[in-house]
Chains A and B, each alone.
Chain A
Amino acid sequence: MRTTRSTARSTAIAATMGLAAATALSACSTPAAAEVPGVTDDKVVIGTHQPLTGPAAAGFASISAATAAYFEYVNANGGIHGREIEYIVKDDGYNPANTQTVVRELVQEDEVFAIVNGLGTPTHSSVLDYLDQNGVPDLFVASGSLTWNQPDEYPNTFGFNADYVTEGAALAQHALDTDPDAVVCVLGQDDDFGAGILQGVELALGDGEVATNQTYSTADQDVTAQLGAMKEAGCTHNVLGTINGFTALAVGTAAQMEWFPKWHVSSSGADYPTLAEYLGEEGTPALEGLVSVNYLPNSPSSEWYELFSQINEEYNDGAPYTGNTTFGMSVGYQFAEALAAAGENPTRESIVAAVESGDLGGNGIAPLTYSADDHFGHRTVRIAVVADGAQDFTDSAYEVSDAGATAVEPEQAPLENEGIPATE
């Protein structure tokens, strides 16, 4: 049994510690108003969470490298309002538990001005409330989940991708426009991604017109059962709400079954160079004719593509140019544009106001649509097709509203000032 002496001693220790605690009471954890976090006279510090390791790394790790390269290009040309952009990339391994840790680190330790392009629906969902409570601008989330479009609840959160419903509706409408007898099926991820694509497809086709809807989990090793069911259902056009790895798996598995339906794939899983790498030389021909949508100038004929290729050569060690490169650099451009519009002395409020103002043009295939009521910027997507081993845009584009998808003319945002947003 413990002696009274040791109890007395621990009481004394406790008292001492308590006193020390009281002295420091006002010190550390007390909320305090400071100047704008992350903004100094010559620098703006922003952060992101990205899957640099883990299951999603193969498909997405090159995005943040491209964004960082674009920022280096901007910094080398004088920055924005004379400030350099410092971009801190943290690896979360596509695991929500890690995302929570690294984002807190970014906000509390690194004191970032904003979180830019946090990647993934499950991952970013886990920090949505945290960022909202701390008033951190949560700009251009790399996911098309409708979660990011809740201006009343999350006034600082904006999505970057075309939302999944928009993509699903455009892909299904295109299937109907090219083949009125199309039997449309859906294969989707078992989260907001797959659900959004399905919702879009049903918007275009009408409720109950989807022949079969199959789902997979990112933990799955194969999708044979799902594709078997789709083949059984007599699908002619498969709309995929899948990430790159699972698009490749689906196309490859179908080819092994000697089944060659039309593939209509969301932009999140239709990057041709990445898919070709997954499938290898033998599997790549199966990608021929693959239809996808995009909202970014990911076409060798675009002047943006040309500029981004140069930046990629110069500031990204000439890494292979893929759709991720276009994506990463476009995010960088869009943030730089928002920062330029946020004024000479940007605050967290002013940058959110700048995005909501609707003045941002972006570099997409149609002008950005951000407003106070709409926190998504890309409501128009353009159809791209793989032909002769190259993926390029066709002339058809769709604008999606609550009424469905309507065919429109693409209206590419022009390249000005060598891709560096002008500041007045």
Chain B
Amino acid sequence: MRTLDLRSGGAKLLLRAGLLTLLALGATFLLDPYRNYQLATSAGVFAAVAGLTLLVGLTGQLSLGHAVLMAAGGYGYALTATWVADALAGAGGEVADGVVGWLLPLLAGVVGALVASGALGLLLGLAAARLRGPYLAGLTLALVIALPSAASTIPGLAGAQGISAPFVPVPDALAALIAVEQWHAWLAILVTACAVTPLVALRAGRAGLRMRAVHDDETAARLAGVDPGRVKAGAFVISSLAAGLGGVVLAIVTQQVSPGAYGLGFSLLLVVAAVVGGLGSLGGAAIGAVLVTLLPWVVDQATAGLPADLGHRLQGNLEIVLFGVVVIVVTVLWPGGLSRLLPTKKLSQNTQLFQNTSLSQNTER
């Protein structure tokens, strides 16, 4: 297996990331406001799924609770950004009105989100280093179920009603050109790029190699001088940070963080997105994220034509059935996930071979 040569590879990676980001930013011009809203939402989901797919695909740790890590990021962002925005407003009108007025709370919020999701991720990671398979899945699942109670018990999180995050207005220079949804889509794309690019570097670099080594055989990895506990905990933290940034995106777009948005269904959908896209594949994570964002909407459009009574009964249920069908069909036809349909590159062939073997191992167990 090849590792990325840091000097030339790093530059190339940044170039590629920059190009893809520009492409995505350009694409927002082709979309109407509602599509831009959907794009921004899928960008946030993409960041979380990318972290999750890395965790599951490379280290074999199954987390069913990534929605909670997103929520941690969202709460961290909302609390910090609101605090800074209030402080700025208190300091004086001039500062608060300009670019600094929204940029500073935004940046501070991102830091807050990273701290919150990183801290929770570290705690989980420490547990993950000692737990295997179903036990880790069970722990993370319990976390999702505990979220509503945690939100109503911890002061400042305001229970089911949730807390609001400051609105990031369109800068004056752009106000005539783009609508607020497109602006938020831009922010979403930028934050997501910052979340996913490091993951690509990690996956292709030494850290990725260590993760694969630990996944394949912990004893062999230990003999080779790799500490499985540290690798697993580290992978969990990195994955949590990406999920936290995903939470930031959703908080920016919706100006609201509430436990209802990060329920069990959503958390499982993140896993579905990772599986459908192909475990370990970041391109697949993007496909999966778009799928889980758009499918409920498509179903909604499709059932709108039905009689109201039947439509309401199908709403919310039909999409769950569809997701199940999609997972089954994809696993049967393309066991490596939808990322198999992407143009293959030399680099990823090794990974795919690896995915297939690990997937078959999992099913045999």
Contacts and interface: CB of A to CB of B under 8 A. Distances in A.
Q: Do A and B bind each other?
A: yes
Interface of A: 1-2, 6-7, 10-11, 13-14, 17-18, 20-22, 24-25, 27-31, 52-54, 91, 93-97, 100-101, 104-105, 108-109, 121-122, 125-126, 129-130, 133, 190-192, 217-219
B32 A28 contact: yes
Contact of A126 (B26, B148, B149, B256): B256
Nearest to B148: A219
A30 B159 contact: no
Nearest to B169: A133
A129 B159 contact: no
9 closest cross-chain pairs (CB), A and B:
A97-B261, A21-B26, A108-B34, A122-B161, A29-B182, A95-B260, A126-B256, A219-B148, A191-B161
Nearest to B313: A53
Interface stretch (B50-58, B86-94, B133-141, B172-180): B172-180
Nearest to A145: B161
Given A17-B26, A18-B22, A192-B161, A53 B254 contact: no
The SS class assigned to the B binding surface is: helix
Given A1-B346, A91-B315, A218-B160, 6 more contacts: A2-B12, A28-B32, A52-B312, A129-B167, A217-B149, A217-B152
B281 interface: no
Interface string B152-187: 100000111110100100000001111111100000
Given A1-B346, A29-B33, A190-B152, A122 B260 contact: yes
Contact of B256 (A100, A190, A191, A219): A100
Contact of A191 (B16, B34, B160): B160
A271 B164 CA distance: 32
B30 A21 contact: yes
A53 B256 contact: no
B160 A122 contact: yes
B23 interface: yes
B7 interface: no
B238 to A, nearest CB: 23
Given A129-B167, A129-B255, A219 B345 contact: no
A218 B258 CA distance: 13
Contact of A190 (B27, B41, B160, B347): B160
Contacts of B298: none
A130 B255 contact: yes
A191 B32 CA distance: 36
Contacts of B179: 29-31
A29 B181 contact: yes
Interface in B110-151: 148-149
Nearest to A94: B260
A96 B260 contact: yes
B160 A30 contact: no
Contacts of A7: 12, 15-16
Nearest to A4: B12
Contact of A96 (B36, B258, B347): B258
A1 B347 contact: yes
